[in-house]
Amino acid sequence: KETADLDLIIIATGSEVQHALKVAADMPGARVVSMPCMSLYERQSAEYKESILPSACTKRVSMEAGVTDLWYKYVGTEGKTVGVDRFGFSAPGDIVMKE
């Protein structure tokens, strides 16, 4: 949870959550959201979704060691996605993240 006014939302899934938490550790206005299942999130009420991803905060980044296409729904047009959008990249997780 952010310790200052919300400035940035980092949405991550799986093992990328740990990397998101490291990034956010030095950013008091950053919120990390673990989203392991988009369809479960989508089934929640509008009020709940707004409390997790407030529309007023448009500075958003998604992190997933997979394709980035689906994340644009959550990061918006001003957001950024971090992922692997090419086939066949295989290596230990820490090396994949560096690439």
Report the CATH number that the domain containing residue 27 is assigned in CATH.
Answer: 3.40.50.920
Which whole number is the average pLDDT over 40-45? 97
Per the domain annotation, does 82 fall within a domain?
A: yes
Which whole number is the average pLDDT over 45-55? 97
Quote the pTM value.
Answer: 0.82
Q: What domain range includes position 30?
A: 8-98
Instruction: Classify the C-alpha dihedral 44-70-65-80 as positive or negative.
Output: negative
Per the domain annotation, does 77 fall within a domain?
A: yes
Could you tell me which residue, 46 or 3, shows the higher pLDDT? Answer: 46
Write the Ramachandran bin of 77: left for phi over 0, alpha for psi from -120 to 50, otherwise beta: alpha
Count up the domains in the chain and report the number: 1
Per the domain annotation, does 15 fall within a domain?
A: yes
Contact 33, 85 (CB under 8 A): no
Per the domain annotation, does 1 fall within a domain?
A: no
Query: Does residue 91 carry a pLDDT above 70?
Result: no
| 57/43 Cα distance (integer angstroms) | 21
